[in-house]
Structure 1
Amino acid sequence: MLLLKNATLVEFAPARVQEGMDILLEGDLIKDVGNQLESTYPTATIKQMHGKLVMPGIVCSHNHFYSGLSRGIMANIAPCPDFISTLQNLWWRLDRAIDEEALYYSGLICCLEAIKSGCSSVIDHHASPSFIQGSLKVLRDGFLKAGLRGMTCYETTDRNGGVDELQAGVEENMAFARLIDREKEQGSSPYLVESHIGAHAPFTVSDPGLEMIAEAVKATGRGIHIHVAEDRYDVSHSHHHYQKDILLRLEAFDLLNHKSLLAHGLFLSEQDIEILNRHDSFLVHNPRSNMNNSVGYNQQLQKFNNVALGTDGIGADMFEELKFAFFKHRDAGGPLWPDSFLGYLNQGNSLLERNFSASFGKIAPGYKADLTICDYRSPTPLVGDNLPGHFAFGLNSSSVDSVIVEGRFVLENRQFPFDVAPIYREAQKVAQRLWKTMDGLGS
């Protein structure tokens, strides 16, 4: 047993701050919370918190770990005047260039960066058309090496190879879900990684593809993870080719359930939003990515029942993402205040609960021992009523001191439990090779 002594306990929804608390961890769960617990559990190992903030683990609810080696990219990228050209000239060339080695280092680096930023969990959405079979297991290896909890899936599409590519993507999703199911039954490894059934976006998945994906969702008991209405083109494409709003089309294939995760959703119709809410599905808001791609702003956040925050591949700094989400909303004249966005951050834990069938997001007995610890010296009082304001205007990832996942430190006193320098050195070499491969692919 591990006793976190003299912690400032922080919870997000409802916002709560309690000083001088002890938190007892046993295995992968929180066993007890209270005062002076060392007298009740004299054999527990004590770790002094010295008043540090101990909060539920932070979740990035939509990310792309295949983008980990794109930072500062030096490849011949043609001008990208709109969203589709950005996909074609940059991201779809990058993902086609990824091989097994590049994916391993990209994924592992993203895991380390996420932990360093305070994340205990990341929900990933993967693409590597030249390396489909076995790609999700490579990403899983990175999660396990770093100790990060997460989910991943392959973003099924027909944009490169038609029906054969669709089939390969669906088969990879199903094979990975079956692998997880077997390992859960056998108890052969830590249960840190789960799966969705992935799809890129409605405009790159035909009706036969959606039918295959629907069969995979039903067979595996998972939910779909897909981009929707990230750009107006997705909506126009659906109206042009299928004469339907986007979610009406997905609903027709029985693709929406309480495990479904839909990213972006900037241009969903009122009918789409009603459908998403009726199926208790999740929208993940990615404000920095939307700004970077100049696709517009989601003016309808308050209409969705379930909203979480993600980065869409721009790192995994959720402190920064929350700030951008709030400030962009205010800039757009929105009515929401920081408490709503802290609630959205907390909703990542609701996504984990739905997929891992465990309790996340509170510091209470029986909840998963996934925790983010921050060394935050506030010049003003810190209480539940103003906690959202501290997140919007004060707290940032530089305050992250330690991260605990499944009851064990994966970052302690800002140090990883293994030497990460060789990983970063090798990643730099692999990144340069990856960029050269991109140039060889052309546009």
Structure 2
Amino acid sequence: MPEAPLDLLLLPTWLVPVEPAGVVLREHGLGIRDGQIVLIAPRSEALRHPTTEVRELPDCLLAPGLVNAHGHAAMSLLRGIADDLPLMTWLQEHIWPAESRWVDEDFVRDGTDLAIAEQVKGGISCFSDMYFYPQTAAECVHNAGVRAQITVPVLDFPVPGALNAAEALRKGLQLFDDLKQHPRIRIAFGPHAPYTVSDDKLEQIRVLADELDAGIHMHVHETAQEVAEAVAKHGERPLARLARLGLLGPRFQAVHMTQIDDDDLALLVEHNCSIVHCPESNLKLASGFCPVERLWQAGVNVAIGTDGAASNNDLDLLGETRTAALLAKAVAGSATALHAHSALRMATLNGARALGLESQIGSLELGKLADVAAFDLSGLAQQPVYDPVSQLIYASGRDCVKHLWVGGKQLLDDGRLTRMDENELIARAKDWGTRIASK
């Protein structure tokens, strides 16, 4: 039988598969059929395959779509509302009161749409969301065509959309059941932090996560104060408490982890946990420095996240990755720490692994889903190009993102959103800003 034609053949100047590590393929083509990568071959060979559509991408670097492994999407509507404050002051005196006053399903819908559009324009094909009304966020993800992990929020006190943890878990289980066959959405549990969730609720989450093979996504060791207070209250560090309660494991996603001692590192290695590093939020809130190079050398999977726009203040994962690379060198005291190729891996395959999606996305390999980003390196500031990955990480911004495909569907075409109305999103965000500022 004749070979079925490719749906799309992409012909960039450089193709960076991420796996194998450190590889840059020049003048190669990538073929997509039925949403999957089915061909990676030299340009001349790729052009011999029958193809429905061919896209020439001169001066572009083709790489996996970026994976934003931690954020609070709807908080894009609180961008800049409480800047230049320490974490607990920012959280307790400003963010939580604002959320109590304003967060409802409409807020989450409009804020999540705004965040998705910003992320798509920045080359992010998949993100993890930790916020309220997860069913509403899931609807936004479904409609936008992007990929996401949506977490079920669990705290010891009432939150928007749930009067208590029991209601939050009940709704979360229903959402898990509703979306268990969804091709682009994965549901996980999102206990906020060790200091806001009691032992009994954490144990319940552990049981449910084991039964459902679901991820657990949690802020852990974000500040030195958090760790000191936990030791004073419980007689043990938060990570040790989570280990005692049985939460640690390959599905556990520890966000921030700026405070790590030898015992913490041993637990992370023993249980094969993933760390989600949020360098710019940590810097802005003066929370501390995650020792990325030390974790990397110990074999711990380190992904990267932007955190929410209220504490960053953007959802620019490419910029976040540059910050992570530079900060890792300063913290390690070594210019060789977290080189450019490793930084890109942290923003792609490591993020996919943290979310349990490494067999599907995060690298450009045959059989994987076609989540692909094209970065334009033709600009003045990128010349000359000796190592395109170094130019991407150290000399480029998200304005170089030209195209993005998720499962072979194009969500960004020459910098323009294909499924969302940018002007409408801006108008809705401005309306929220006017309403919130007036109060």
In which range does the TM-score fall when normalised by the shorter chain?
A: 0.7 to 0.9
Q: Supply the distance in 2 between the matched residues of 1:325 and 1:276 (Cα, whole angstroms).
A: 20
Quickly say closer, same or farther: Cα 1:80–1:209, change in 2 above 3 A: farther
Partner in structure 1 of residue 320 of structure 2: 321
Q: Supply the distance in 2 between the matched residues of 1:420 and 1:329 (Cα, whole angstroms).
A: 35
3-state DSSP class of the match of 2:429?
A: helix
Cα displacement (A) at 1:80: 7.5
Cα displacement (A) at 1:18: 1.8
Kept in 1, the 8 Å contact 2:195–2:226? The answer is yes
Partner in structure 1 of residue 8 of structure 2: 2
Q: Supply the distance in 2 between the matched residues of 1:89 and 1:107 (Cα, whole angstroms).
A: 23
Partner in structure 2 of residue 295 of structure 1: 287
The one-letter code of the counterpart of 2:398 is S
Q: Supply the distance in 2 between the matched residues of 1:346 and 1:420 (Cα, whole angstroms).
A: 26
Indicate which of 404, 413, 427 corresponds to 2:429: 427
Partner in structure 2 of residue 22 of structure 1: 29
Partner in structure 1 of residue 89 of structure 2: 85
Aligned residue pairs: how many? Answer: 414
Partner in structure 1 of residue 149 of structure 2: 151
Q: Supply the distance in 2 between the matched residues of 1:426 and 1:374 (Cα, whole angstroms).
A: 29
Partner in structure 2 of residue 114 of structure 1: 119
3-state DSSP class of the match of 1:52?
A: strand
Partner in structure 2 of residue 368 of structure 1: 369
Quickly say closer, same or farther: Cα 1:4–1:300, change in 2 above 3 A: closer
Partner in structure 2 of residue 141 of structure 1: 139
Indicate which of 92, 95, 102 corresponds to 2:99: 95
Cα displacement (A) at 1:343: 3.2
Cα displacement (A) at 1:248: 1.7
The one-letter code of the counterpart of 1:27 is D
Partner in structure 2 of residue 239 of structure 1: 231
The one-letter code of the counterpart of 1:84 is M
Give the TM-score, by structure 1 length.
Answer: 0.87
Cα displacement (A) at 1:351: 2.3
The one-letter code of the counterpart of 1:44 is T
The root-mean-square deviation of aligned C-alpha atoms, in Å, is 2.3
Kept in 1, the 8 Å contact 2:304–2:351? The answer is no
Q: Supply the distance in 1 between the matched residues of 2:338 and 2:84 (Cα, whole angstroms).
A: 34
The one-letter code of the counterpart of 2:301 is N
Kept in 1, the 8 Å contact 2:373–2:401? The answer is yes
Q: Supply the distance in 2 between the matched residues of 1:123 and 1:81 (Cα, whole angstroms).
A: 25
Quickly say closer, same or farther: Cα 1:318–1:81, change in 2 above 3 A: closer
Offset from partner CA, 1:381-437 (integer Å, 9 cap, x none): 43xxx445323421221111010001110001111124321222122213333455x
Give the TM-score, by structure 2 length.
Answer: 0.87
Indicate which of 327, 344, 347 corresponds to 1:345: 347
Partner in structure 2 of residue 312 of structure 1: 307
For structure 1, list consecutive stretches of 5 or more residues without a partner in the other structure: 128-134, 185-189
Offset from partner CA, 1:338-397 (integer Å, 9 cap, x none): 244333223444326x63473323223112100010111242243xxx445323421221
Q: Supply the distance in 1 between the matched residues of 2:32 and 2:417 (Cα, whole angstroms).
A: 20
The one-letter code of the counterpart of 1:278 is E
The 5-angstrom pairing of residues 3-402 of structure 1 reads 3-12=9-18, 14-34=21-41, 35-37=43-45, 40-73=48-81, 82-96=86-100, 97-127=102-132, 135-160=133-158, 165-181=164-180, 184=181, 191-299=183-291, 301-303=293-295, 305-313=300-308, 314=312, 315-332=314-331, 334-335=333-334, 336-339=337-340, 340-351=342-353, 355-356=356-357, 358-377=359-378, 378-382=382-386, 386-402=387-403
Percent of residue pairs bearing the same amino acid type:
22
Q: Supply the distance in 2 between the matched residues of 1:333 and 1:271 (Cα, whole angstroms).
A: 19
Kept in 2, the 8 Å contact 1:15–1:387? The answer is no
3-state DSSP class of the match of 1:154?
A: strand
Q: Supply the distance in 2 between the matched residues of 1:99 and 1:250 (Cα, whole angstroms).
A: 31
Cα displacement (A) at 1:121: 0.9
The one-letter code of the counterpart of 2:316 is D
Offset from partner CA, 1:150-191 (integer Å, 9 cap, x none): 111133111457x9522223223322222222xx1xxxxx61
Q: Supply the distance in 2 between the matched residues of 1:170 and 1:227 (Cα, whole angstroms).
A: 18
Cα displacement (A) at 1:116: 0.4
417-426 or 99-108, which deviates more? 417-426
303-312 or 168-177, which deviates more? 168-177
Quickly say closer, same or farther: Cα 1:301–1:39, change in 2 above 3 A: closer
Cα displacement (A) at 1:333: 5.1
Quickly say closer, same or farther: Cα 1:25–1:389, change in 2 above 3 A: same
Quickly say closer, same or farther: Cα 1:397–1:241, change in 2 above 3 A: same
Kept in 1, the 8 Å contact 2:39–2:46? The answer is no
Kept in 2, the 8 Å contact 1:155–1:200? The answer is yes
Q: Supply the distance in 2 between the matched residues of 1:247 and 1:269 (Cα, whole angstroms).
A: 11
Kept in 1, the 8 Å contact 2:385–2:391? The answer is no
Partner in structure 2 of residue 187 of structure 1: none
Quickly say closer, same or farther: Cα 1:270–1:68, change in 2 above 3 A: same
Cα displacement (A) at 1:329: 3.0
